[in-house]
Amino acid sequence: MTDEDDEVDANDECDEGEESDDDGGGPAAAIVHSLAVEWAALEGLTPAAVNDRLYRPVRDDDPGVVALAEAMGRDGGVLEPIVVTLDRVVLSGHRRRAAARLAGFDPVPVRVYPIWSADPAFVRLLRTFNQQRVKTFDEQIREAVIDADPHTTALEVEAYEAERDATYRRRVAAADIAPIAVTAARRRNDISAAKRPMLDAVIRVVQENREYWPLSNRQVHYRLLNDPPLKHARKPGSRYRNDLASYKDLCDVLTRARLAGVVPFDAISDTTRPSTQWRSWGHAQAFVREATAKLLSGYARDPLQSQPAYVEVLVEKLTAETPVERAAAPYLVPYCVGRGYPSLDARYQLAERFRASGKRRFVLLVLSDFDPEGENIAETLCASLRDEFDVPDITPFKVALTEDQVGRFGLVPSMEVKRSSSRAKGFVGKHGSQVYELEALPPARLQQLVTDAIESVLDLGAYRRERAEEARELQELVARRRVLLDAVGGLGGGA
């Protein structure tokens, strides 16, 4: 396959399972290719509503659309013009339209087919333009409805869907599972003008920390303390404080702001409630295309194999994971989240990772709150690894949060020491009664602290030599990939 073939096929949609760039066959295709190419703004092109009824809805986060947008970026634009009606409704090119928007190509090339979207023949023509695409069984059934009657309209497609939905509901109702009655959701009040100063401050903090999205509510809380807003515009004494009442107020504002659309849902996360989605593909061709595109990709040489010690980062809290991950990733230094004191299994796995490294010395970089428990986590963990898991040579370092950092960065305390803690007396006697959380550090500063700590314990010369060898190996893999793709004749199209 030539480089030119790669470019053309990379901007092709027919293997991705949404629609084909081969605009059907027969008279329609002949007409399309005889039409002049024009340029049109994306906002003037309307997706066909019936397209989402017949086929899977086109989403910007669909892997196929994302891949198509990347191909457009490589190819320099939309290679195959989008086909639209006289009133600028898309007939062929829904995915091209979405991908062009993602890739930033606007205007785009179009061909105007001589038909109006209200024409009874519109649905049949739309189906004709999708003959070459790979379809699910469900989509094939809906197409069969159109094929059975050439005069099928969009309303008749919806009627078919409604009947199918009714059949499904009857089947579910007959199932031996208990239904749950859903009542009306409690309507939250709109954000009032009195809350505007606080909302503006929240939006500013969220945008300033965009690089570290998603943020936790607690991270936003500590950033607000740097320049506390009024919680109520007409109450001078309502300045945001480091207390539970202010934090609850913040949680409420963040909830309403996301529902109102002024703070993106992607900006805030709740890591305490994980979900699971299973990896699958719409059809085999999509899998082949993806697997071929990733052939011999993703290689990373172990840059730490020449190091004199095994290094790992332990962070106490899940809410501080993002800056730790970003600091550790360039060096491929492993890290783990303790969620307080690491459990027995977590300690066992930590010891097993050390043994698998083949090193004799273990260096542990610890990030924990500056409180009685946070000061004790590393000591307790290392004693357990030494005495219970036979890790004789382990050296822990407190990267954050330390008493020196509290003063140097002017951090705000979170609360008083919990007197119920068995370690409270010793901590108070040495450090005082104020305690500080990791989230009090801005994410960028926390990331830099971890980066500095990693570089201070690594042999950077050995690290750079491993990276240099990796660069040489990657060039070799590129050559081998070309050979393999040529051997299979470009299987999957456009690697």
User: Does residue 27 fall inside a structural domain?
Assistant: no
Q: What is the DSSP letter of 106?
A: -
Q: Of 84, 117, 134, at which residue does a domain stop? A: 134
In the three-class reduction of DSSP (H, G, I as helix; E, B as strand; rest coil), residue 110 is classed as strand
Which DSSP helix (H) or strand (E) runs through 444? helix 443-457
Nearest residue to 462 via CA among 353, 326, 309, 354: 309
Query: Are residues 369 and 401 in contact, defined by beta-carbon separation less than 8 angstroms?
Result: yes
| Same domain membership, residue 451 and residue 342 | yes
Per-residue pLDDT 10s for the chain (495 aa) are 333 333 334 354 443 333 344 444 556 677 888 899 999 999 999 999 888 777 778 888 888 898 899 989 988 999 999 999 999 999 999 999 999 999 999 999 999 999 999 898 888 888 777 765 555 555 555 555 555 555 555 566 667 777 777 888 888 888 888 888 888 767 778 889 999 999 999 999 999 999 999 999 999 999 999 899 999 999 999 999 999 999 999 999 999 999 999 999 999 988 777 788 888 877 787 787 788 878 888 999 999 999 999 999 999 998 899 999 999 999 999 999 998 899 999 999 999 999 999 999 999 999 999 999 999 999 999 999 999 999 999 999 999 999 999 999 999 888 788 777 878 888 888 888 899 999 999 999 999 999 999 999 999 999 999 999 999 999 999 999 888 888 776 444 443
Which CATH number is 122's domain given?
3.90.1530.30
Q: Is residue 6 in a domain?
A: no
Residue 266 lies in a domain: no
- 144: exposed, middle or buried (Cβ count in 10 Å: 0-12, 13-18, 19+): exposed
Residue 467 inside a domain? The answer is: no
The reply to whether 216 falls in a domain is yes
Residues in the chain: 495
One-letter-per-residue 3-state SS of 24-93: CCHHHHHHHHHCCCEEECHHHCECCHHHHHHCCCCCCCCHHHHHHHHHHHHHCCCCCCEEECCCCEEEEC
**Residues 322, 251: one domain?**
no
With tokens 């690594």, the residue in question is: 458
Going by C-alpha positions, the residue among 246, 244, 245 that lies closest to residue 224 is 246
Q: What is the pLDDT of residue 12?
A: 47
What residues contact residue 241 under an 8 Å CB cut-off, 6+ apart? Answer: 225, 228
Residue 57's Cβ-side half-sphere holds a number of Cα atoms within 13 Å equal to 4
Residue 336 pairs with which residues in a beta bridge? 314
* Same domain as 256, residue 315: no
Question: Is 314 in the same domain as 452?
Answer: yes
Which residue, chain included where needed, has tokens 């969220």?
206
Domain-embedded: residue 356: yes
CATH of the domain at 383: 3.40.1360.10
What distances in angstroms separate CA 171 from CA 136, 177, 180, 243, 461, one per listed residue? 22, 12, 16, 52, 67
Same domain, 327 and 434: yes
Structural domain total, the chain: 3
- Say yes or no: 121 and 214 in one domain: no
- Name 373's Cβ contacts closer than 8 Å, sequence gap at least 6: 340, 341, 421, 423
pTM: 0.68
CB-based contacts of 41, cutoff 8 Å, min separation 6: 106, 107
Q: Is there a single domain that holds both residue 127 and residue 234?
A: no
Residues 345 and 430 in one domain: yes
At 280, give phi and psi (nearest 5°): -155, 170
Q: Are 458 and 330 in contact (CB under 8 A)?
A: no
Q: What is the DSSP string of 358-419?
A: T-S-EEEEEE--BSHHHHHHHHHHHHHHHHTS----EEEEEEE--HHHHHHTTPPP-EE--T
Helix/strand/coil percent split, the chain, to 5: 50, 10, 40
Strands (E), 218-358: 310-315, 335-337
Residue 323 and residue 242 in one domain: no
Asked which of 89, 117, 134 is the last residue of a domain, the reply is 134
Q: Which domain holds residue 351?
A: 309-458
Residue 293 lies in a domain: no
Pairing of strands 335-337, 310-315: parallel
With a CB cutoff of 8 Å and minimum separation 6, the contacts of 295 are 481, 484, 485, 495
Instruction: Judge if 121 and 204 occupy the same domain.
Output: no
Q: Which of 134, 155, 183 is the last residue of a domain?
A: 134
Q: Which amino acid is at 200?
A: D
Is 17 part of a structural domain of the chain? Answer: no
Is 245 in the same domain as 314?
A: no
197 and 331 both lie in a single domain: no
